[in-house]
Every structure is written in structure tokens, then in C-alpha cells.
Amino acid sequence: MEITQAVEALTQLLGSEKVFTDAAEQALFAGGSATTGMLHLPGVVVRPDTVEQVQGILEIANEHKLPTTVVSSGTLDYTTHPYEGGMIIDLSWMNKIIKIDEKSDYAVIEPGVTIGQLNKAIRDKGYWAPFGSYPSGICVLPNYCERGHTAMRTGGAYDDVLALEVVTPTGIRFRTGSAAFEDYDEWHTSWGPFPDIRGLFMGAGGSFGVFTKGAVRIYPMQEERRMVLAGFDSIEQSTKYCQMLGRAGLVEQNVIWHWAMYTMFEQMYGKTSLAHMSLVALKPWEKPQHCYYNMVTAQMAGYAEDMEAHEKICARLAKECGGTYITREQAEQDYPGAWEHWKLIGIDRWPCEKFGTGFVQFGAFAFVYAAPESIAALEKESMQDLYEAGLRFGMTYYSQTVDRGRTQSIRFTPFISPLDKEKSETALATIDKFYKKAMDKYGAVAMLVTHPEQRELLPETGGYYEVWKLIKKALDPNNIMNPHTLY
């Protein structure tokens, strides 16, 4: 690695205003985009604003064998952590909305476009996009590609990315799906004309190339939008309910909230501080008297008559699953903070502006997809492990059924101070244990493909790993992109 010569070449290519080597810039990226502790300082940060510049940067990185990490903002993926003395390609200056296609309901955007930016642009045209509980400053495309999003009825966040423009580590630029033929500016589908290689760049954190444009689905804002609530005494009941909703195609998205998680919203929105007290005092598998063990939010939208009927069906199914249907009025009265949050995201469809309020989150969270029938056992065992590890604020979760109930995610988030090094280490060890158990015992897959525990398991995939290595070697012969992370 010849950083000095590389910086000279980069400056020649981009001009000094796009090449940063000062300590303040290094500091900004030292912890990656994650909230976890400090890791490594990059040697140089570059901010290209055209695809040609990205190509040139990668040529220089190859020439100087410079470990390269691509970031824009916001993901919590380990692949966004820099290498000591390596290069960060910050795509935040590539922030143009190329087009909003109102005939086929998609937007073509550059990777630096933020949630707020896209929201504003599409909202005026009667659209929304599933931004989950992310705040408005986060970038859209990288988060979609890193699976940081909501579970739509079709099968998760990836499905909302239609086509990509990618630059490979050796500088080849190409487009996927219907955008492959550049003479036609059509980005409406991820399929064809040839095998869909879009997946290679999804969830890979820039290990196989840099995406420089992408089309994402946008959805018409329907005339009626509802958030239907139901309370349950166990995760078995709530999972069954969510599967029934999914199978019937009733909802856009549903989320199972553990009591400690949804009562936290009361504090986030300044309604009460009860949640904290309960968390410390109770075991996570117990619950305060005034709460349901799980609350399920079912997000739906459509014509008013349809929604009326859908809500009635939800109430019936909740009862059949042993739960309680909760009216909007009840929710407003009994859980004002949680309702404010759910209404904001599910009914008003705004980005969340209370992300993490009141908590300083230790960023290494545990997030897996498992078969729905495994979720209850995994939940109970994980609760026990977290409790025994003393992670009082880690013993809460949310869970979503995805792809109409075929698979289910569950995410535990330790809310602990990053200043508490001892507890941080305990949290990391507990999370590793969680991943191992979830994968070995329950056949779960980690959401973040590059979590160290998952990475160690990669060779165990046999042929998959062999193919993976071959592809990586073919695309990135000098192994400059996230070296040793995925391979």
C-alpha cells in the first residue's frame, strides 16, 4: 500500500477539494457508520460526484493496492468500517434524484440521496416509500441495499431495489435489470434480460463493487392508511396472528413489539419514563401489569371500504389467535407515545425523527431471520441469555414476519452506554453467542452478512463459499474492496 503516491494520484484525478487527509475527516470515519467503538483511521477520504470519478478512483486503488471501503451514511454494517490507512469512498456528494417515474412508480437516485430528500420529492407527487424508523438524514439506496428496511408483503427490503448501476473494483461500469441497455432509460424491473446479478451487490457492503445509481420502488399514497393494533400474551400467539395476516395478504407490513420495546416509545415521545423502571425491575419474559406482552402493529393502506373490512378481519383474527384488538382511541389513551410513533410512520408515512431519543445505543445489535416456527424458542432462549449476561437494556426486541409469513426477523438491541467498556464487551460476546445459537440450533441467517460470527461460518457453506471466492477473485483480483471481510 503506497498511500502517499495514491493520495497524489487521487488529487490529480479529483482536485484537492475532493480529497481529504486531515485528522477531522479521519475521525469522522474511524468508527465506520456504526455506533460501536472506535476502530481504524482511514488514510484518505475521497468524495466523488460522478461515476467517471468513481471509476478513476478504483483504478488508482487497484494500482496502489489500497484497501477501500465505500460509505454514504447510516448503515450499521461492519463493511463500512475503514481499514487503517486505507481509503474511504464517501458517496454523499452523489446525491441527485435522476428521475421519478410516475408511470411505473419508481425513482432513480444516486447513493447520496437522503430519506428526507426523496420523501420531499415524491410526497408532492402523491407517493411514499418505506423508510422504516430511520431518520431523514440517512441515505436511501445504501440502506435498501443493506437490508436496513421494512418487510413489505413481497419479501423484504431488497425487493424495493429494482435496478442498479455498478462500478466493479476494476472500473467496469454496467447496469442491471431493465436498465442494462443504456440506450433505454428504463429501470422498472430487476429481471432480465439475463441472470439477475443485482444480488451480488446487495448486502455486500461494497465488497464486489460500488453502486452509483439505483431505482427504488415508490408507492402511491393510498386514500386510507391504517395502523391496526392487537395485544398478545406470547410471541407464539403474535407470530400466528402475523402469519394469518400475511397469508391473507391483508397488510403491507407487521411488527411484533416486545413490551419493553413499545413502552420505550412512551419515554422517547416524552409521555412517561415508566419503561425504564419496568425494564430494570422485571425479567423480560415477565411484563408489567398494564401492558400486553407483545403488541402487533399491522400497517395497511387502500380504499376506505377495503380498509374498514380489513380492520374488522384483523380484529377477528386477533381474537382467534388469543389476542385483543385495540382501537385507535384506546391506543391513543393508553400508549400515547407508542401510538404517536406508529401513526407517524404507518399512517402519516413520515421518516422517524425520534430515532434513539433518550438512549445512547450500543450499535452492535443482534438481527436474524428464522423460520416462524423457530421464533418462539429462539426468543425465550435469547431472553434468558441476555438476562444472565446482565444486559438489562438489551432484553427487548421487535420481530417482523416477512414474505407473507414465510420467514421472520427478530432483532435484539442492547441499549447500553458505549462508555461502559466492560458491558460493551459483554454485549458483543452475548451477541456472538446469540448468532451462533440462532444459526446452529435454529437455522437462522444473520441480517448483517458481515457480522464476524457469520463471517467465520462462511467457509462452512462449502460450495457456496468456493463460488463466492471465485466471483470475488474475478471481480476484485487485487482484493481491494473490504479485503478479508467477505473473503
Partner 1 sequence: MNSEHRIKFKNLPRKPHYYGCPKCRNCCFTDKEAGYEPLCPTYHYYKTITRSGAGMNKIAANLFEGNIVLTPAIAETVYSCTQCFGCDTRCPMSCRPTRTNLNLRRDLIEANLGPPTILQRRIESIKKHGNPLGRPAKERFQFLPNGCGDQQTADFLIYCGADVAWQDSETALAAARNLERMGIRYAFFAQEDDCGYQLYQMGVEKEAEKRANRQYKLLKKSGKKIVFLDPGLYHYFSRVRKFDLPMVFVAELYAEHISKGEYVLDNVDKVTWHDPCALGRGCDIYEEPRAVLAAVKGVETVEMARNRADAWCCGAGADAPALQPEFASWTAAQRIEEARQTGAQWIVTSCPRCRTHLAAGAETGQLVVDLSVFIDQASRGGQSHAD
Q: Does 43 bind partner 1 (CB under 8 A)?
A: no
Q: Is 360 in the site for partner 1 (CB under 8 A)?
A: yes
The number of angstroms, rounded, from the C-alpha of 216 to the middle of its chain's C-alpha atoms is 15
Note whether 284 binds partner 1 by CB under 8 A: no
In a 13 Å sphere around the CA of 381, the CA atoms on its Cβ side amount to 15
**Among residues 8, 11, 37, 274, which is the contact residue for partner 1, using CB under 8 A?**
37
Handedness of CA 23, 29, 31, 34 (dihedral sign): positive
In the sheet where 19-20 sits, what is the strand order?
A: 19-20, 44-46, 87-90, 68-71
Q: Is 384 in the site for partner 1 (CB under 8 A)?
A: no
From 354, 380, 436, 469, residue interacting with partner 1 (rule: CB under 8 A):
354
Please, which residue, 137 or 322, has the CB nearer to partner 1? 137
Q: Which stretch binds partner 1 (CB under 8 A): 31-39, 155-163, 232-240, 399-407?
A: 31-39
> Which one-letter amino acid corresponds to residue 324?
T
Q: Which three three-digit cell numbers place residue 401?
A: 414476519
**Min separation Cβ 403 and partner 1, Å:** 28
Footprint (CB under 8 A) of partner 1, residues 455-484: none
Work out how close the CB of 351 gets to partner 1 at its nearest, in angstroms, rounded to a whole number: 7
> With CB under 8 A, what is the number of residues at the site for partner 1?
51
Of 327 and 417, CB closest to partner 1: 417
The residue from 361, 400, 407, 450 that contacts partner 1 (CB under 8 A) is 361
Nearest Cα to Cα of residue 114 among 102, 131, 100: 131
User: By CB under 8 A, is residue 341 in contact with partner 1?
Assistant: no
In the stretch 124-163, what mask flags binding to partner 1 with x, by CB under 8 A? ----------xxxxx-------------------------
Q: How far is the CB of 121 from partner 1 (least distance, A)?
A: 10
Position among 99, 120, 283, 312 found at the interface with partner 1 (CB under 8 A)? 120
Q: Please tell me whether residue 363 binds partner 1 under the rule CB under 8 A.
A: yes
The edge-to-edge listing of strands for the beta sheet with 97-101 is 97-101, 106-109, 210-217, 161-167, 173-175
- Rounded Cα distance, 368 and 14, in Å: 40
Going by C-alpha positions, the residue among 236, 209, 248, 178 that lies closest to residue 111 is 209
**How far, in Å, CA of 487 to CA of 480, rounded?**
11
Q: Is 359 in the site for partner 1 (CB under 8 A)?
A: yes
How, if at all, do strands 87-90 and 44-46 pair?
A: parallel
Say which amino acid occupies 205: G
Residues 6+ positions from 454 with CB-CB distance below 8 Å: 435, 439, 445, 446, 448
34 binds partner 1, rule: CB under 8 A: yes
CB of 21 to partner 1, least distance (A): 9
Supply the DSSP symbol for 83. Answer: P
Distance of alpha carbon 190 from alpha carbon 56, whole angstroms = 27
C-alpha cell at 110: 444516486
Q: Work out how close the CB of 421 gets to partner 1 at its nearest, in angstroms, rounded to a whole number.
A: 7
Question: What minimum distance in Å lies between the beta carbon of 177 and partner 1?
Answer: 29
Decide: is 265 part of the binding site for partner 1 (CB under 8 A): no
Strands of 131-198, DSSP E: 161-167, 173-175
- Does 452 bind partner 1 (CB under 8 A)? Our answer is no
In whole angstroms, give the CA distance from residue 381 to residue 375. 10
Least distance (Å) between residue 32 CB and partner 1: 9
Contact residues for partner 1 (CB under 8 A)? 20, 22-28, 30-31, 33-35, 37-39, 41, 47, 73-74, 76, 92-93, 114, 116-117, 119-120, 134-138, 350-363, 417-419, 421
